[in-house]
Chains A and B, each alone.
Chain A
């Protein structure tokens, strides 16, 4: 089983719908991240959390919100999806041994299509 699990892996929805992408991890890491990947743009950071009570905006947080329900769970929500939020979304984690080095562990991605 994957150490970082994302659900759903694929989702097609319509403009205006609320969508939640979920991430859970079994690595025991305290830090979790949500990135979005678009062709030609690489990965861009949406939100990150350094522990359960810590939430930080990344470079493209507008239109998104997150919830850190537990150390192992970090959810990304789109309150009212729009077509330009069509992308591949990745959850990632890092832990104590990776602090200061930036090494991340990624899930397999959630492909979201907004029609």
Chain B
């Protein structure tokens, strides 16, 4: 079945450091890919998405590129802030009107001043 694998956390960084959170996927078709973020005490919210190969999603300084050849969608940010501390979820959805989201297990990011 379809699945998403993320690097385990927590990822601990100092402010202004470069961030990479790895995500790879297995899917039977050609999925759309997502990064969701969950801030402490809140629900998940969409951070960025890409719907086809080679697309780059970006938002709030974060970006991820849909790599079909490596089945990956790694999240990157050039300079993290304390306010980026959260749990990040990679997810996929097959491009069907009846599909649902499959999530990875989440990666906690802790950014210290």
Contact = CB atoms under 8 A, between A and B. Distances in A.
A48 B104 contact: no
Interface in B9-39: 32, 34
Interface in B69-101: 89, 91-101
B111 to A, nearest CB: 20
A109 B104 contact: no
A96 B98 CA distance: 11
A40 B105 contact: yes
B45 interface: yes
A41 B105 contact: yes
Contacts of A92: 43-44
B100 A103 contact: no
B43 A42 contact: no
B97 A100 contact: yes
Interface residues of A, number: 23
A75 to B, nearest CB: 17
A85 B94 CA distance: 29
A108 B104 contact: no
Contacts of A44: 103
Interface of B: 32, 34, 41-46, 49, 51, 89, 91-101, 103-106
27 contacts: A4-B43, A33-B100, A40-B105, A42-B89, A42-B105, A43-B89, A50-B98, A90-B43, A90-B44, A100-B99, A101-B49, A101-B51, A101-B95, A102-B32, A102-B34, A102-B94, A102-B99, A102-B100, A102-B101, A103-B34, A104-B101, A106-B43, A106-B44, A107-B43, A108-B41, A109-B42, A109-B43
